[in-house]
Structure 1
Amino acid sequence: MQTMKPVAGLAGLGLCLLGLWSPALADEREVAKCAVRQADGTLRIRWIEIDEMREAQRALQRFLDHEAPGEGRQVERCIGARQIFPSAQARAADRSAPR
């Protein structure tokens, strides 16, 4: 039977602890779902991963304006991924949106 050297054991323990702590030390990003009014009046749900929830609506609007300028899409509201939209139309769009 082979015994582990103390130095190797400590190094292994250190790597294990680093692996456990690294998600806690990493920047936590939030996921938001946003109701986007299309040019034809329909509502579509778009998902965005962002550092701060309060920036989601503005960041997604900038992205949409850059992605397709002049198309007339408007971000109406962004909420947390697990929250429920208050309007029936947004809830229906959320139910039919691919995950």
Structure 2
Amino acid sequence: MKLYVCWGTFQVPVVRSHPCRDALDALRAAGYEPEVVRTYGFGGLPDVVNPTRREVKRLSGQSWVPLLVTDDGQSINESKKIIAWAAAHPAAATGRVGAAD
């Protein structure tokens, strides 16, 4: 299992949450420890500038993160969708507690 994120999974100061952090927190709360892949750069830049964003686009059809790639190859983009997936698929129910890849 891989979670593609922007620069990191840090908490954004002040009021708003960070989508990449929210996705990682939800996966951990569901019992997963995904491999975190940092994509760096801005998703709106041309793919030639950033090979990791190019990989995100190959997997999902778009360059934006967060993107979750499950152990069975399913790609889920957008933090809200990843959070919903984690809630619906806890690791304990699948027998994959702490699954990392």
After TM superposition, the score normalised by the length of structure 1 is: 0.30
Relative to its length, the structure with more helix (as a share) is 1
Larger radius of gyration: 1
